[in-house]
Chains A and B, each alone.
Chain A
Amino acid sequence: MTDLTRLSAAALADKLAAGEVSSVDATQAHLDRIAEVDGDVHAFLHVSDHALAVAADIDRRRAAGESLGALAGVPLAIKDVLVTTDMPSTSGSKILEGYMSPFDATVVARSRAAGLVPLGKTNMDEFAMGSSTEHSAYGPTRNPWDLDRIPGGSGGGSAAAVAAFEAPLALGSDTGGSIRQPAHVTGTVGLKPTYGGVSRYGAIALASSLDQVGPVTRTVLDAGLLHDVIGGHDPHDSTSLAEAWPSFADAAREGARGDVLKGLKVGVIAELPDSGFQPGVSASFRAALATMEAHGAEIVEISAPHFEYGVAAYYLVLPAEASSNLAKFDSVRFGLRVTPHANSTVEEVMAATRDAGFGDEVKRRIILGTYALSAGYYDAYYGSAQKVRTLIQRDFDAAFTQVDVIATPSAPTTAFKLGEKIDDPLQMYLNDVTTIPANLAGVPGISIPSGLAEEDGLPVGIQFLAPAREDARLYRVGAALEAALVDSWGGPLLDRAPVVGTRGGVR
């Protein structure tokens, strides 16, 4: 029943609700798919050994007449940054190898309560630091479009799983683009909610003021359905917003149906000229804008003069907060412990453990962050970066008085080859130039496929940004453009992906 894996989550959910297919069958189909292709893709770090039991339970409850949620019975992949009680949580790091959390992340608990069936934990750059998943301590994930290329990062595993039809839905996290950039390079959909829109409780912290958890899917509607399950206030997360949210699935449906694009003002940032992007990426971006214009949208040039400082500010705020958040990995209460010699002091054990357990990128950022916060440097570095946040927020505020959404390409290039940028950290950081501002400002952002780049045939994504708390607007606009593009393509972009699994391979 391999075509079960080609269904969107919404379509699969409909079949499950109609009793046309069981969750056990759907789950089995995805487990089979994982067995078939994940040897090549390596999206998963851990596959659940009791997914079928969970699926069977959903089927039993449905058969007993119990009223179940919209996505009940649909399989779900979970980024390994989210802690789970029944599967290890490593955050892509050796320092947490085998760690079993005594509590579930809130988004995981809500997913379970909604009847979603966890398939496994997906690969990621270590502690979510990276744009390629090459910094995972467990080996990279490969892009289903071209197995020699990166799937994006830090959430390359979730995006690849969804792009390779190993799961219809996945949970990801986004600190500087870790959901949106992988969506861009894999031809899938990813959304970063307004900061505080989804609980961070149970998401292993990278940068507390930037992290958000969000949906990774193949369609905008699927993202909306998953966002409806996981979003909303959580008393365990002091930074989570208290207000009630509208249904994002409904917003997506509205966008697909109606005249959302007519009269929509779409801002394009003057300070991000086409010359800063790979030609095929800009071309796809411009083509998508043209499609929007054809449907009645108005493209407006806006200025965001401080966006150019975004990457610099980000690479000060993130390492600073991360250096503090990662201090807890010290061999004492959980995780790896390395004892150098018989008479080691606890300080020596801590230092040796962290040296052995952290990869190069993590060490680099911790050292950088320690520097940024240290006595005498705070004002020039961390303090200044927090001021740049204010300036970027003001840029957004000003822009949104003129436009309804802002559009950018989701990243400067298509998927680069594995190993291409790994030795040049600064080059790697520049991948996030369009996605970072949303994290700094706290506004929501979505990436949907805009097409394939002409020069390499690889996927390109278009990013939309909206004011804080206007996530629904992104679902409406995203769904509207998605409908128009898919219509013009004659089918989803992923239909054109090369077939993974012809080489076979077993985990």
Chain B
Amino acid sequence: MVSEITPELVRHLGVLARIQLSDEEVERLTGQLDVIVDNIAKVSQVATPDIPATSHPIALENIFRADEVGETLTREQALSNAPDAADGRFRVTAILGEEQ
């Protein structure tokens, strides 16, 4: 199975993953991922429709906690590692995007 890793795809993936990639990085990653994906693509050969997927290695269910207030961070703790904060809130530069 030939993989479809192209520089355009890598650039698009970089956008999805919010990592700014240089042209050099895109080229290098394209080559490396091409080889890797060719190698790992063989999983689809053996993963036939009759085999169920396992997302949790140990099967558990209904793991809950009681609806009681527990340890919460103080505001100081929450903001303690903030790169920028104002008025008790985290500050970020302008967002371009949909309204909330």
Contact = CB atoms under 8 A, between A and B. Distances in A.
A and B in direct contact, judged by CB atoms within 8 A: yes
Interface of A: 99-100, 102-103, 194-196, 209-210, 235, 238-239, 241, 306, 309, 311-313, 315-316, 323, 327, 330-337, 339, 343-352, 354-355, 358, 363-364, 366-368, 370-371, 374, 379-381, 383-391, 393, 425-426, 429, 439-442, 468
Contacts of A439: 57
Contact of B43 (A312, A344, A351, A441): A312
Nearest to A340: B20
A257 to B, nearest CB: 31
Contacts of B43: 309, 312-313, 316, 381, 384-385, 387-388
Contact of A312 (B13, B39, B84): B39
A426 B35 contact: yes
User: Top 6 nearest A-B pairs by Cβ distance?
Assistant: A442-B57, A334-B81, A386-B53, A384-B47, A387-B47, A337-B83
Contact of B92 (A100, A332, A441): A332
A393 B57 contact: yes
A501 B14 CA distance: 45
Contacts of A348: 20, 93
A309 B48 CA distance: 14
Interface of B: 5, 9-10, 13-14, 16-22, 25, 29, 32-33, 35-37, 39-44, 46-48, 51-58, 60, 63, 65, 71, 73, 77-78, 80-84, 90, 92-97
A381 B37 CA distance: 9
Q: Is the interface of B mostly helix, strand, loop or mixed?
A: loop
Contacts of A351: 14, 18-20
Given A346-B94, A364-B29, 20 more contacts: A195-B58, A209-B55, A239-B56, A327-B17, A332-B92, A345-B93, A351-B20, A354-B17, A354-B18, A370-B16, A371-B9, A380-B41, A381-B41, A384-B43, A384-B46, A387-B53, A389-B54, A389-B57, A390-B52, A439-B57
Contacts of A331: 83, 92
A36 to B, nearest CB: 34
A309 B46 contact: yes
25 contacts: A99-B81, A102-B77, A195-B58, A196-B57, A196-B58, A209-B55, A334-B83, A339-B93, A343-B94, A345-B93, A346-B92, A347-B96, A350-B18, A363-B25, A364-B29, A364-B32, A367-B13, A367-B19, A367-B33, A370-B16, A371-B37, A383-B53, A442-B57, A468-B57, A468-B58
B34 to A, nearest CB: 11
A168 B95 CA distance: 50
Contact of B84 (A327, A337, A363): A337
Given A363-B25, A364-B29, A355 B20 contact: yes
A345 B95 contact: yes
Nearest to B21: A355
Contacts of B46: 306, 309, 384, 387-388, 391
Given A239-B60, A367-B29, A425-B32, A389 B39 contact: no
A344 B93 CA distance: 7
